[in-house]
Amino acid sequence: MRVNIEAQPEVASSGAVRSRLGPIGWVDVVLVAVLVGAIGGVVYLAGSATGPAEGVEVSLSPQMLPLYTALSIGRLLAAYVISILFSIAFGYAAASSKRAERILLPTLDVLQSTPITSFLPAVLLGFAAIMPARWAAEAASVVLIVTCQAWNIGFAWYQALTTAPPSLSDAATVFRFNGWLRFKSLQLPFAAVSLIWNSMVSWANGWFFLMVAEMLRLGGRDFRLLGLGSYLQEAANQGNAAALGWGIVTLLVVIVALDQLVWRPLLAWSARFVPQTDEEEPPRAWFHDLLRTSRLIERLTLRVERAVDAFDRLIIGRFPARRVYEAEQRGGARAGLVVAAAVLAGAAWGLVRSGHLLTQVSAAEWWEITVGIGATFVRVVLALLLSLAWTLPVGVAIGTRPRLAARFQPIVQLAASVPATALFPAVLWLIPHTGLGLNIAGVALMVAGTQWYLLFNILAGASSIPAEMHHSTALLGLSRWQRWRYLILPSLLPNLVTGAVVATGGAWNVCVVAEYVQMRGQILEITGAGATIQHAAAVGNYPLLLAATLALVVVVVLVNRTVWGRLYALASDRYRLE
């Protein structure tokens, strides 16, 4: 039996890693300008958000949990639908021409590696400026979730569009498929598996950020949303252990149920879209098997298929394939120009605003930002090292035993999809309420958020070392240390770097949550970039909010593009097992 771990991380994990990082070019300059403009514009808007935000009454009665859970899932679902629509548009746009590709892919890279939580206060206040606080909080949570979900799905879709076998695309052209039939019979099935895997990742990310969004309070203003996140926080706040327990159990049940009832069956179903080789066992799911035995479902499927077929023929009749050369279909170019112009105009306005705001940041505040980023950086590195300390030996031990790996892999995946941010209130409740305590809790939260990515990647890497290599090191009589030095570490390097990039990305995201907390009516704050951002938003210091957010984004993007990008290029070039 072979474990098909390698087949799975088609997951478009991290932007910094994927792209061929060339020298910084004009695209990057424009991108940074647009990003600065966007954040600046939002923060400027935020400045006019003056209305009070009373927040919501969170009931700790377990009977309310089904409602809260439904609200949370509803937000995720709304964001997911938007993400999918965005991804499809993005993929088509990026695959439409070389020029679009040259602009859109780096954009995705940068957006994917930015610490999204850092935007939350700014985005929230921006929305609060133009709509009631409750709606602003809802909108901000959805926007936040979309920004964490859309990139990898978008990239997966783009990749499917560009890597679909040319012969299949030729066949579609020769047999005169129109756009719809091409989408339905060629592109969607080809992308299916990758889309599902990436959707799983996106949902896990979504939970992580949803918890943050549901718990947010800025100073006196309460932007919390009714949902699982606020329930957990309130429970911890009131020291209600029973409620905390209920909340965590509910969350776990929901995540396991989604995994077992939605994702696993989908994966099993999607196995039809990949040509299976004999050695590989297709993924199976009990729920999928169960559904297949149902007569009712079978009839329903038939009905649906008939309706879909009628719809297909309607579309085909209405919009037949055009008789032009495929490479010369130019539909979106003009639309693309319009969008680009709008984005640039918006960015220009934002840039002016941010320029104005940034001049109001004092030297002392810049110093505060610098120290904050430094402190957060130390925490991130510490969390990465701590995670590595246990995941490396454990991952290698499991990964080199195929049977064990096959059994552990779903568990690791499931564990990875439990949002660390949901557990944070519980952690806070347990630790002493001091700066040191918060430091420990912060790093713990970072470890909780990062370790699974690392473990997952190490597992995959370790299990892809061919058995012959282990045999030959054994025959050569290499010592344990020599084996690690000459076989295991070098062959793990690409996976290690991938895991580390995703993990540090997660850790940076945690800082906004972990460095500034409001518990039992008091505010606890430790030095860090996240604390600066939250603190600035809470007291309404908009120039500082903008400066801190921008600085954090720039530092993280730079670290990704220089350190990790280079390491990855090295790792994938030299330490690749073929």
Q: Is 382 left (phi over 0), alpha (psi -120 to 50) or beta?
A: alpha
End-to-end CA gap in the chain: 20
Q: Which is nearer to another protein, 325 or 481 (CB)?
A: 325
Q: How many residues bind another protein (CB under 8 A)?
A: 37
How near is the Cβ of 533 to another protein at its closest, in Å?
44
CA 340 to chain centre: 25
Query: 542, 148 in Cβ contact below 8 A?
Result: no
Query: 109, 18 in Cβ contact below 8 A?
Result: yes
- Which stretch, 19-27, 104-112, 140-148, 178-186, contacts another protein (CB under 8 A)? 178-186
Query: 435, 523 in Cβ contact below 8 A?
Result: no
- Identity of residue 375: A
Q: Which is nearer to another protein, 177 or 197 (CB)?
A: 177
**Tokens 């600066």 belong to residue:** 532
Q: Which is nearer to another protein, 329 or 472 (CB)?
A: 329
What does the block give as tokens for 511? Answer: 């800082």
Instruction: Determine the 3-state secondary structure of 77 from DSSP.
Output: helix
How near is the Cβ of 170 to another protein at its closest, in Å?
6
Choose which of 176, 284, 299, 566 interacts with another protein (CB under 8 A). Answer: 176
Query: 228, 68 in Cβ contact below 8 A?
Result: yes
- Tally the residues of the chain: 578
What does the block give as tokens for 543? Answer: 């120039």
- Which stretch, 27-35, 96-104, 181-189, 385-393, contacts another protein (CB under 8 A)? 181-189
98 binds another protein (CB under 8 A): no
Q: Which is nearer to another protein, 89 or 168 (CB)?
A: 168
Q: How far is 228 from 67, CA to CA, in rounded Å? A: 9
Q: How far is 230 from 55, CA to CA, in rounded Å? A: 11
How near is the Cβ of 267 to another protein at its closest, in Å?
15
How near is the Cβ of 270 to another protein at its closest, in Å?
9
In terms of Cα–Cα distance, which of 95, 262, 303 is closest to 186?
A: 95
The set of residues, in sequence order, having a beta carbon less than 8 Å from that of 85 and lying 6+ positions away, is none
Of residues 188-247, which lie at the interface with another protein (CB under 8 A)? 189, 192
Choose which of 80, 119, 157, 177 interacts with another protein (CB under 8 A). Answer: 177
Choose which of 186, 347, 459, 533 interacts with another protein (CB under 8 A). Answer: 186
Choose which of 4, 185, 464, 473 interacts with another protein (CB under 8 A). Answer: 185
How near is the Cβ of 172 to another protein at its closest, in Å?
8
Q: Which is nearer to another protein, 54 or 170 (CB)?
A: 170
The set of residues, in sequence order, having a beta carbon less than 8 Å from that of 522 and lying 6+ positions away, is none
Please state, as a whole number, how many other Cβ atoms lie within 10 Å of the Cβ of residue 542.
22
The set of residues, in sequence order, having a beta carbon less than 8 Å from that of 362 and lying 6+ positions away, is none
How near is the Cβ of 91 to another protein at its closest, in Å?
19
How near is the Cβ of 274 to another protein at its closest, in Å?
7
Q: Which is nearer to another protein, 292 or 520 (CB)?
A: 292
Q: Which is nearer to another protein, 269 or 287 (CB)?
A: 269
* 266-276 core/surface letters (b: 16 or more CB in 10 A; e: else): bbbbbbeeeee
The set of residues, in sequence order, having a beta carbon less than 8 Å from that of 496 and lying 6+ positions away, is 454, 457, 458, 461, 571
Q: How far is 27 from 25, CA to CA, in rounded Å? A: 5
How near is the Cβ of 573 to another protein at its closest, in Å?
10
Of residues 402-421, which lie at the interface with another protein (CB under 8 A)? none
CA-based radius of gyration for the chain: 25
Environment class of residue 219 by beta-carbon count within 10 Å: exposed (0-12), middle (13-18) or buried (19+)?
middle
What does the block give as tokens for 99? Answer: 């020029």
How near is the Cβ of 175 to another protein at its closest, in Å?
4
In terms of Cα–Cα distance, which of 377, 365, 379 is closest to 539?
A: 365
How near is the Cβ of 494 to another protein at its closest, in Å?
17
Q: Which is nearer to another protein, 324 or 467 (CB)?
A: 324
Of residues 252-311, which lie at the interface with another protein (CB under 8 A)? 272-276, 306, 309
Q: Which is nearer to another protein, 66 or 320 (CB)?
A: 320
Of residues 308-337, which lie at the interface with another protein (CB under 8 A)? 309, 312-313, 316-317, 320-328
Q: Which is nearer to another protein, 328 or 468 (CB)?
A: 328
Q: Which is nearer to another protein, 323 or 480 (CB)?
A: 323
In terms of Cα–Cα distance, which of 503, 469, 468, 499 is closest to 484?
A: 469
Of residues 329-388, which lie at the interface with another protein (CB under 8 A)? none
Per-residue mark of binding to another protein, 549-578 (x: CB under 8 A): -------------------------x----
How near is the Cβ of 485 to another protein at its closest, in Å?
19
Of residues 144-173, which lie at the interface with another protein (CB under 8 A)? 165, 167-168, 170-171, 173
The set of residues, in sequence order, having a beta carbon less than 8 Å from that of 158 and lying 6+ positions away, is 90, 91, 94, 95, 105
Q: Which is nearer to another protein, 188 or 348 (CB)?
A: 188
How near is the Cβ of 207 to another protein at its closest, in Å?
31
What does the block give as tokens for 146? Answer: 């979309």
How near is the Cβ of 323 to another protein at its closest, in Å?
4
How near is the Cβ of 158 to another protein at its closest, in Å?
20
Q: Which is nearer to another protein, 315 or 415 (CB)?
A: 315
Residues that bind another protein (CB under 8 A): 165, 167-168, 170-171, 173-178, 181, 185-186, 189, 192, 272-276, 306, 309, 312-313, 316-317, 320-328, 574
